[in-house]
Amino acid sequence: MDATTFPISLTWHMIFSVLACVFFLVQYVRTKKSYQLLLAIGIPASLCIYIQPENSSLFYAVGTFEAVLLIGAVVFAFIERSHRKQEIADTQPLPEEATAADEPKTKDTPPSEDAQSEVTQSEDSPTEVNNEETK
């Protein structure tokens, strides 16, 4: 194998592969995104070329395997992005629900029955101070 295949030595390639594998495994455990697991498998798999450097069949097999994993990682990334956008859209309230919840209550609106019952309960107990009466 010549220097054009990997311009770094085997030692550095192993170090970078192990670090990348650990990084993607940690990210997969943290975020549960499957493309990160594919990358955690694919990066150290590139070291298989060093098993028999003179075997061109192994070289092309590893290259094909790496290409399939990278295409799979891209596909899974797009699929998971669309699922995430759908989940976000499902959790957002409808526009009429959002405007009803965001409207501030004014003093002109009559208090609800629950608020009126709280007022009568607080008038009965001498230790509680009703905030509406002090305003």
125 part of a folded domain:
no
86 part of a folded domain:
yes
118 part of a folded domain:
no
39 part of a folded domain:
yes
DSSP string, the chain: --TTT-SS-HHHHHHHHHHHHHHHHHHHHHH--HHHHHHHHHHHHGGGGGTSTT-HHHHHHHHHHHHHHHHHHHHHHHHHHHHHHHHHHHHSPPHHHHHHHHPPPPTTSPPPHHHHHHHHHHHH-SS---HHHH-
Domain limits for position 56: 10-98
Chunked mean pLDDT (size 10), the chain, 135 residues: 73 94 95 92 92 89 95 94 86 69 58 54 52 51
126 part of a folded domain:
no
* Domains identified in the chain, total number: 1
111 part of a folded domain:
no
78 part of a folded domain:
yes
pTM: 0.59
